Chains A and B, each alone.
Chain A
Amino acid sequence: MKVVVCVKQIPDPADPGQLDPETKTLKRDSKLILDESDSYGVEMALQLVDAAGDGEVHLVSMVPNNEVSGIRTALAMGAASATIVSDEALQGSDALGTAKVLAAAISRQEPDLILAATESSDGYTGTVPEMVAELMGLPSVTFAKSISIDGSSANVRRQTEAGYDQVECPLPALVSVTAGVVEPRYPSFKGIMAAKNKPVAELSIGDLGVDGDQVGWAGAGQEIVDIAQAPAREAGEVIEDEGDAHERIVAFLDDLKVL
């Protein structure tokens, strides 16, 4: 079984990003790491391939400046190989432009199953997986809590507002995975060393046959018209608990007359 996992490298959340006021794109000059949200998809793919007894996990990612540090993390976890698409024309791409690039790169792999996070931790549009499925003409199940493969179909528990749905979906298919559903493994030292030599194919949009008008700023079809500092919420009183802080909380609630 061949599983493709869509992954994204993002700025370290501990070092929050900024929008460049000139270009209105996210400044990506700090080191990029594997989005934690994607580590669940990578882990789930590895487990499914293990359970199937044969197959491999391939990573697909759209990256700035041929950046691979986060991709190496996923390879160190156990993915076999990767495709990265890096092209200056991709700067400013929105979710739809991104999905077009990913769909073109994934199609070349002819996977049985495509996994993605439900949303990235930096852009969080939460629409790319479903767009990729539509572009590839595939069925999809989003917000998966668990996946098992039964012959030629996937059985998925899909998170809903009220609980979950059990969904049966024939392969090939795309499934998006919610965070926290599996425990992502830490790359072993051996894995980290092996990752350095795993194949990473670098493609341009020309290689994929994607039209430059469809991606980047040109293809985005949307324009940021304003960027402003959000009004900050004022901090109130902060006190040290001296053993009677609960009284302050009760008094606070009494003042609000909510009890």
Chain B
Amino acid sequence: MGLDKIWVFGETNGDAVATITLEMLAKARELADTVEVFMAGDGDDHSEELGEHGADTVYATGDLDGVMQGVAVASALAAIADSDGPDAYLLGTTQDGRDVAGRLAVKLDTPVITNVVDLELDGDHLVGSEPVFGGTTDVKTKNTSGKPGIFLVRPKSFVAEGIGGAEADVEDLDVPDLGATGTARITDTFAEESDGPKLDEANIVVSGGRGLGEADAYSMIAELAKLVGGAPGASRAIVDAGWVPYSYQVGQTGKVVKPDVYIACGISGATQHLVGMKGSKNIIAINKDSEAPIFSIADLGIVGDVHKVLPKLIEALGNR
């Protein structure tokens, strides 16, 4: 039982397939007989890894010459939706995933079910689960349009797992003439340098918030993260304030992290932040305000001043 065919949006991270893509492939295998990947760029570079994770075929556009992925991929999918299209499209909640989903929804006149953290079958219908109100309420949503559903899946919802599948076949995904919609062009690409483990892959995440008081105090977060072999993170408040780049942000509008240990320093625990880290296995919180919401989900809560606790913690760990 299950769907005949699910298509998963393939994204890459440098030379490797993005983790979110592999996570969705693992779930898609449970739900459908055939799982295929559609992607921008060169499929041959990734057909082995995608095949290993259960994709039978990779439909790839080839080099887009700077055209935005969203409009190009959505237009290509819409062109073949009636002839070869799947029963459902799964895309990651990423910049390009959301662009493709938005454009495709209009072209197919079918809804997008967003912020999905789980998927299940109800007969021939795919039902998505989404947390709302900062994760206090779970909602299940079914596509009733009679057309293939589009699901935007949040990272870390499923566990990526290779199954030793054979290299995927690679097919062309032809991009039709995009007219005015295709006129935005990427002229240059910049990467922000960072060392140490990536925020969404680290076993330990140390995050700082407003309670640090000033931008310079973030150096304590960076140092502690380095000492424990973890990654530094941040609340939206201090990203908005310009203390650290957006790539550090944990939360609804930033990264979703599920490390073994999450250490929240000077973070009160706005729902926006909790959504991004409440799946952590263990949570340590340090905050001056004993009423801070973060303490309601912390395994170890320290009511105290981060400016006093962190230097001692750094010294103690540094001496080991």
Nearest A residue to B128 via CB reads A222
Q: How far is the CA of A227 from the CA of B136 in the complex (A)?
A: 11
Closest to B297 in A: A233
Distance, CA A233 to CA B68, complexed state (A): 40
CB pair A179 B240 closer than 8 Å: yes
- Set of chain A residues within 8 Å of B145, measured between Cβ atoms: 221-222
Interface size class of B (residues with CB under 8 A): 35 or more
The reply to whether B180 and A137 contact each other, CB–CB distance below 8 Å, is yes
In the complex, residue of chain A having the shortest beta-carbon distance to the beta carbon of B93: A126
**CA A252 – CA B260 in complex, angstroms?**
12
Identify which of B180, B241, B298, B305 contacts A241 (C-beta below 8 A). Answer: B305
Are B112 and A125 in contact, CB atoms less than 8 angstroms apart? yes
Given A222-B141, A250-B317, CB of A135 within 8 Å of CB of B106: yes
Which of A56-64, A70-78, A167-175 participates in binding chain B? A167-175
A162 CA / B193 CA spacing, docked (Å): 8
Which A residues are in CB contact (< 8 Å) with B136? 229-230, 232
Within 8 Å of chain B (Cβ to Cβ): is A223? yes
B153 CB to nearest A CB, Å? 13
A203 interface hit (Cβ, 8 Å): no
Q: Which residue in chain B gives the minimum CB-CB distance to A121?
A: B272
Which residue of the partner chain, among B135, B184, B290, contacts A167 with CB atoms under 8 Å?
B184
Contact (Cβ within 8 A) A19 B95 = no
User: Is B70 part of the binding interface, using a Cβ–Cβ cutoff of 8 Å?
Assistant: yes
- Choose one: A129, A130, A224, A248; the contact of B302 (CB below 8 Å): A248
In this complex, what residue of A is CB-closest to B304? A241
Chain B 127-143 interface residues, beta-carbon cutoff 8 Å to A: 127, 131-143
Query: In the complex, which range does the number of interface residues on chain A fall in?
Result: 35 or more
* A224 and B139 contacting across the interface, CB-CB below 8 Å: yes
On whether the beta carbons of A134 and B187 are closer than 8 Å, the reply is no
Q: Name which of B112, B136, B303 has the most chain A CB atoms within 10 A of its CB.
A: B112
B residues within 8 A CB of A35? none
The complex places the Cα of A217 from the Cα of B295 at a distance, in Å, of: 39
Indicate if the CB atoms of A222 and B95 lie closer than 8 Å: no
Q: When the two chains form their complex, are residues B181 and A239 in contact, meaning their CB atoms are under 8 A apart?
A: no
Asked whether A161 is an interface residue with its Cβ less than 8 Å from the other chain, the reply is: yes
Q: Which of B246-287 contact A (CB under 8 A)?
A: 246-247, 252-253, 260-261, 263, 270-272, 278, 282-284, 286
The SS class assigned to the A binding surface is mixed
B193 to A, closest residue via Cβ: A163
Contact A126 B114 (CB under 8 A): yes
Residue of A with least CB distance to B95: A143
* B39 CB to nearest chain A CB (Å): 15
Residues of B within 8 A of A7 (CB): none
Tell yes or no: B192 within 8 A of A by CB.
Answer: yes
Given contacts A16-B133, A143-B95, A241-B309, contact A180 B68 (CB under 8 A): no
With an 8 A cutoff between CB atoms, is B239 at the interface? yes
Q: A19-B139, A127-B152, A248-B302 are in contact. Are A235 and B188 (CB under 8 A)?
A: no
Does any Cβ of B come within 8 Å of A108's Cβ?
A: no
> When each residue 132-155 of chain A gets 1 if its CB lies under 8 Å from chain B and 0 otherwise, what string results?
011101111111010000000000
Instruction: Kindly supply a per-residue 1/0 record for chain B positions 185-199, scoring 1 wherever the CB is within 8 Å of any chain A CB and 0 otherwise.
Output: 111111110000000
Q: Does B80 contact A (CB under 8 A)?
A: no
Contact in complex: A119, B253 (CB < 8 Å): yes
Chain A 205-259 residues near chain B, CB threshold 8 A: 220-230, 232-233, 235-241, 243, 245-250, 252-253, 256, 258-259
B-side contacts of A13, CB under 8 Å = 270-271
| CB proximity of A161 to chain B, nearest CB, Å | 7
**CB of A158 within 8 Å of the partner chain:** yes
Give Cα A142 to B45, complex, Å: 27
- Residues of chain A lying within 8 A (CB to CB) of residue B131: 230
Cross-chain contact A16 with B261 (CB below 8 angstroms): no
User: Residue A95 at the B interface, CB < 8 A?
Assistant: yes
Among A124, A135, A139, A161, point to the contact of B184 (Cβ < 8 A). Answer: A139
Indicate if the CB atoms of B298 and A235 lie closer than 8 Å.
yes
Residues of chain B within 8 A (CB-CB) of A128 are 102
Instruction: Tell me the bound Cα distance from A256 to B112 in angstroms.
Output: 40
16 CB < 8 A contacts A-B: A16-B134, A125-B114, A139-B180, A158-B95, A158-B186, A163-B192, A166-B190, A179-B253, A226-B138, A226-B139, A227-B138, A233-B278, A238-B295, A241-B304, A245-B302, A256-B261
A sample of 18 more A-B contacts (CB under 8 A), given A224-B139, A238-B290, is A19-B132, A124-B252, A125-B115, A127-B101, A127-B102, A127-B114, A130-B101, A139-B182, A141-B68, A167-B185, A179-B236, A220-B111, A221-B111, A238-B295, A238-B302, A241-B302, A252-B282, A256-B261
